[in-house]
Amino acid sequence: MSRHVSIVTGASRGIGREIARYFASHGYDLILVARDEAKLAEVADALRAEFGIAAEPIAVDLSDLAPAARAILDAVDRMGRLDVLVNSAGIFRFGTSIAEVEDIEAMLRTNVLAIHNLCKACLEPLQKSGDGRIFNISSIAGVEPFAPVGGYAASKHALVGYGRSLAREQLPSGVKVTTLCPDVVDTDMGAGSGMRPEEMIAPADISRAIDFVMALSPAAVVEQLTIGCKPPKQGVRAEA
């Protein structure tokens, strides 16, 4: 039987890259997805060399819905199976009442529609796995209001609602869906928060959360998990 296979989007940097490394360290073959072809190839090469797994980079814009789903499903066919889908890719734009309509539209397309697009496309192979998993990376902004980032919060609230509903819909199929809602993570995206690295969540904490969920008994269901961090000693959190 072939090794387990995981798709990780946003795998060229930050949380996605850390999650890809986690699954590689557990012997999963990988389908790595991001827009930056060069960085994605570097990540794939490094994981192959370190862990001896197969890693196929797919450089696509996930907001280009039909071509993205087609490219990723073609990769699943080549791998021969799919066990885990991790939707880590996302974008951030500042603003609430001052937010441009185009920015909110872009966030909804990438942070919600693109994720639904992949979930829908991947459900059949995940159901065939017998223990399929979907992890959607949302944000604490998906469960709390933040005055300066209403557009971003709207997209992440939508993702939480979608993910929890999908989790309940898919229980009879055997596919478990968990939406993770971390506070500010020590990544490029978190750099504008005004927080020091030691006050932020480490990227590896997201992998540890996934490990925790996957280690639970078969009867356990975790629809949504929020991970907080220390409040900043100065400045205002701009994003999560």
Catalytic site residues? Answer: 152
The H or E element spanning position 223 is none
The arrangement of strands across the sheet holding 55-59 comes to: 55-59, 29-34, 5-9, 84-87, 133-137, 176-182, 224-227
Residue with tokens 């971390």: 182
84, amino acid identity: V
Residue 150 CB coordination number (10 Å): 19
Query: The dihedral of CA 225, 230, 231, 235: what is its sign?
Result: negative
| Distance (Å, whole) CA 9 – CA 48 | 17
| Distance (Å, whole) CA 67 – CA 168 | 28
